[in-house]
């Protein structure tokens, strides 16, 4: 049996499918680095909102070289620093969520962040979650997962998270916001949200966090030991 170390694990999928929780747990169990790329797009959006500039590509592109975004692993997951300030909580503000898909659709922003993401993951031993990790950032990732879940379940999960952050919002509002963002993310020209043909689809609608984490870890074990996934469905072959 041939085994190797330091894989790149790409986890993509729509908003609220459980990517960050799953990715963080998988990283913990493997002793890998967890990188939440959504936080990077959110940090750029927060900086743009704070700067009060028009949300147009030429204006946003001008501030990019001045941004210092740092991802710091912590016991509670990744903390995000923007020019030295811990903005982890601010990144969840509804205002940031409202604008992040537009900011993320600008090719200048994607080029800037993808370069940094490739740098962070180049040595492997990393679990990275986002929308385009398996398709654009690391098309050569050894393990690719596309996490999905039904809209009502995603909305309920997101509602709980937002309430924990003290944000007052209804389940209907959350569902509408998730749908709007998925629509924008899936239809933009540059690096849209899509399932890589060689990604394994995991529908988390009926799964617990522990179960979804275990499914991904099973794919990692299979990959490390060069065995084929047994009953997994990929995007290339619909269920």
Among the residues of the chain, which ranges form H helices? 19-30, 37-51, 57-63, 94-104, 107-121, 151-164, 171-187, 209-224
The span from the CA of 25 to the CA of 77, in Å, is: 9
Kindly state the smallest distance separating residue 104's Cβ from ligand CDP, in Å.
Answer: 3
State yes or no: residue 16 binds ligand CDP (CB under 6 A): yes
Decide: 238 and 197 in contact? Cβ < 8 Å: no
Over the window 162 to 181, marking each residue x when it contacts ligand CDP by CB under 6 A and - when it does not, the resulting string is -------------------x
Please identify, among the stretches 22-30, 50-58, 100-108, 222-230, the one whose residues bind ligand CDP according to the rule CB under 6 A.
100-108
How is 167-223 classified by DSSP, letter by letter? Answer: ----HHHHHHHHHHHHHHHHH-SSS-S---TTPEEEE-TT--HHHHHHHHHHHHHHH
8 A C-beta contact, residue 63 and residue 48? yes
Contact between 132 and ligand CDP per CB under 6 A: yes
Cβ closer to ligand CDP: 91 or 220? 91
Cα distances (Å, whole numbers) of residue 124 to 46, 73, 127: 29, 16, 9
Residue 5 in contact with residue 130, Cβ under 8 Å? no
* Element containing residue 147 per DSSP (H, E): strand 143-148
Q: Which is nearer to ligand CDP, 131 or 215 (CB)?
A: 131
Binding residue for ligand CDP, selected from 25, 131, 215, 223, defined by CB under 6 A: 131
Task: Examine residue 204 and tell whether it contacts ligand CDP (CB under 6 A).
Answer: no
Element (H, E) at 126: strand 126-130
**Does 212 interact with ligand CDP (rule: CB under 6 A)?**
no
Q: Which residue lies nearer to ligand CDP by CB, 7 or 185?
A: 185
Distance from C-alpha of 40 to C-alpha of 78, rounded to nearest angstrom: 11
Q: Which of 38, 71, 90, 153 binds ligand CDP (CB under 6 A)?
A: 38
Q: Does 126 bind ligand CDP (CB under 6 A)?
A: no
Q: Which secondary structure element, helix H or strand E, spans residue 229, and what is its range?
A: none
- The window from 47-55, 61-69, 82-90, 130-138 that contacts ligand CDP (CB under 6 A) reads 130-138
Residue with tokens 């028009």: 54
Q: Which is nearer to ligand CDP, 16 or 121 (CB)?
A: 16
Q: Taking CB under 6 A as the rule, does residue 24 contact ligand CDP?
A: no
Nearest CB to ligand CDP, comparing residues 94 and 125: 94
Count of residues near ligand CDP by CB under 6 A: 15
Judged by the rule CB under 6 A, the positions of this chain that interact with ligand CDP are: 15-16, 20, 37-38, 41-42, 100-101, 104, 130-132, 181, 185
């Amino acid at each position: 049996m041939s085994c190797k170390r330091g894989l790149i694990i790409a986890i993509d999928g729509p908003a609220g499918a459980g990517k960050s929780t799953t990715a963080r747990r998988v990283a913990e169990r493997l002793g890998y680095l967890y990188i939440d790329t959504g936080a990077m797009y959110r940090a750029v959006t927060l900086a743009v909102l704070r700067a009060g500039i028009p949300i147009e590509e030429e204006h946003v592109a001008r501030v990019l070289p001045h941004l210092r975004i740092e991802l710091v692993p912590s016991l509670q997951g990744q903390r995000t620093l923007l020019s030295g300030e811990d903005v982890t909580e601010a990144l969840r503000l509804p205002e940031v969520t409202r604008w992040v898909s537009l900011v993320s659709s600008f090719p200048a922003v994607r080029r800037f962040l993808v370069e940094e993401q490739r740098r962070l993951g180049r040595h492997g031993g990393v679990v990275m979650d986002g929308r385009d990790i398996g398709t654009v950032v690391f098309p050569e990732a050894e393990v690719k997962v596309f996490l999905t879940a039904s809209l009502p379940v995603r909305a309920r999960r997101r509602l709980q998270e937002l309430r924990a952050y003290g944000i007052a919002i209804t389940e209907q509002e959350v569902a509408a916001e998730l749908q709007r963002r998925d629509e924008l993310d899936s239809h933009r020209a540059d690096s849209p949200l899509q399932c890589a043909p060689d990604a394994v689809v995991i529908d988390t609608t009926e799964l617990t966090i522990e179960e979804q984490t275990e499914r991904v870890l099973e794919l990692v074990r299979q990959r490390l030991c060069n065995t084929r996934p047994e009953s997994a469905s990929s995007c290339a072959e619909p269920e």
